[in-house]
Structure 1
Amino acid sequence: MKKHLIITGGNKGIGSGIVSAYKNSGYQIISIARTLNPSDEYKEVTQIVLDLIITEDLENAFSQILNAIDKDAVERIVFINNAGTLGKIGRLENNSVSDIQSIIQINTITPFLLTSVFLKETQNWNCSKKIINISSGAAVKPYYGWSLYCASKAAIDMMTKAVAVEQETIENGTKIVAIYPGVVDTDMQTQIRKSKIENFADLQRFIDLKESNSLVSIETIGKEIFEIDRLENYPNGAVLNVSEYRD
């Protein structure tokens, strides 16, 4: 019996840390991203190139990925909605229609769609099933210049809670949680630090986090998310903060 992980945005950043942690624990990995990771560590990872902003055929593509797995040989399957974007930083009125559409698409619409497909395709699988949504503390704390990011992550949190209520009524339903990884040393943090103060009022705080070595490495956060997944000491639909699980 095999354990499987399917993850979006698994080729870099937090996603690459998650891939490493699960792969080292014997999981078969499928990473869905816009580009390939050419490193040796990804030689045993099935990499599928998909642009998650483009919804045409996304449902069919994800269905095919799931249907290619031998469900009778699966002990456990985990699907992680990890891909996301901060988008253009600045007040809402300074975002174009295309800015708004792309951020909401990748952060909200795509995770909703993929979650729906996962639930539908695996509903009769007789194995342990789990969805982890990588969310953000920005879902509950508004930031000047991040209105789209904050709102899109808040939607993910509520989707997590509502889907859990639904799955609790189903025999062998899927567990679903959202996780706040905190401040991690990724390209997104680099993007934040390059902002202008007039577009992002909390700029200095994030510069200070980098200069004080307060950012968590992608390797560490990957291991922490894996360990939280293993614990299972929380209710279905829980919204979890990684920092609360650190010693």
Structure 2
Amino acid sequence: MNYYIITGASKGLGEAIVQSLFHEENAIIAISRTVNEKLLKEAHDNRVPLLFETEDLSVVEHLIPLMERVFQHIRLKDAQSITFIQNAGVIEPIKPVGKMDHTELVRSVNVNLLAPMILANQFVERTRSFAGKKVIVHVTSGAANRTVHGWSSYSSTKAGLERFTKTLAFEQKNESFPVQAIAFSPGIMDTDMQQTIRTSQVEDFNEVKTFQNYYEKGMLRSPQLVASKLLTLLQGNVESGKVYDIKSLLN
């Protein structure tokens, strides 16, 4: 059995990844704030085990109990592989420094950076003796390496996540049963996050017109396309520590 754990799984890219995994050799544990009933029905119709664990990843005190629940559903002795796709993320606050809401700023750091670090730490600890294939995927953004007006929190947390990913991969090199860790940048997709970006005020985000043009000109990729490219990548041998960009996977 190939186990997949996916955060932010109820919509957008997370939902598309879950749908792309509907094969009988897979078992899926979806983590999100809400349950996607449509996905549950599709999984049932395809005879694929799909379990939702509902949790708000910004509440960091809940994360270790969350992973305890997740691993109660994983039979390590029957597993061939375990893949952990940390997809959940928030774009807010979209504001210049000095105008950011404190609550949104804390939530951004918790969801985009602190939660993935805590969950990855738990994953590595709980799979240390598992000899099968183990992969952690951190969904990142091109903004990790680009200065964007109004995106100081989002860009900083994604940059931190990339460094964490590279350090994790570096540390695992000499382990008996190493975890592979990569970051994956999906580019611009037609998701709720893009809608939030498009409706920003120009004084908060001075590139808002550019992102409105992406949508109006049909330049946004579908989450289904991005999900398929990511899963194709994972079926091969990934380079642990590498940041993969969707553009390099499109032919």
Counting only pairs closer than 5 Å after superposition, residues 168-187 of structure 1 correspond to structure 2 as 168-187=173-192
1:153-207 Cα deviation digits (max 9, x unpaired): 0000000000001111101110000000000000000011101111111111111
Q: What SS is found at the alignment partner of 1:179?
A: strand
After TM superposition, the structure 1 stretch with the greater mean CA deviation from structure 2, 20-29 or 213-222, is: 20-29
Q: CA deviation at 1:23?
A: 2.2
1:69-127 Cα deviation digits (max 9, x unpaired): 11000001100111000012110210122121110000000000000000000010121
Counting only pairs closer than 5 Å after superposition, residues 2-21 of structure 1 correspond to structure 2 as 2-21=1-20
Same amino acid, percent of matched pairs:
28
Q: Which letter does structure 2 place at the counterpart of 1:17?
A: A
Q: CA deviation at 1:42?
A: 4.7
1:17-43 Cα deviation digits (max 9, x unpaired): 111112247421100110010112254
How many residues in Structure 1 have an aligned counterpart in Structure 2? 245
1:208-237 Cα deviation digits (max 9, x unpaired): 1111111011111111110111122x4210
Unmatched 5+ residue regions in structure 2? none
What is the rounded CA distance, in whole Å, between the counterparts of 2:27 and 2:202 in structure 1?
44
Structure 1 pair 230–134 and aligned structure 2 pair: CA distance change class (3 A): same
Normalising by the residue count of structure 2, what TM-score does the alignment of the two structures yield? 0.94
Q: What SS is found at the alignment partner of 2:2?
A: strand
Q: What SS is found at the alignment partner of 1:5?
A: strand
| Matched-pair contact (CA < 8 Å) for 1:63–1:121 | no
* Larger RCO, structure (CA 8 Å, separation 6 or more): 1
Counting only pairs closer than 5 Å after superposition, residues 53-202 of structure 1 correspond to structure 2 as 53-202=58-207
Normalising by the residue count of structure 1, what TM-score does the alignment of the two structures yield? 0.96
What is the rounded CA distance, in whole Å, between the counterparts of 2:233 and 2:111 in structure 1?
25
Unmatched 5+ residue regions in structure 1? none
The two structures, once aligned, show a CA RMSD in angstroms of: 1.2
Q: CA deviation at 1:49?
A: 0.7
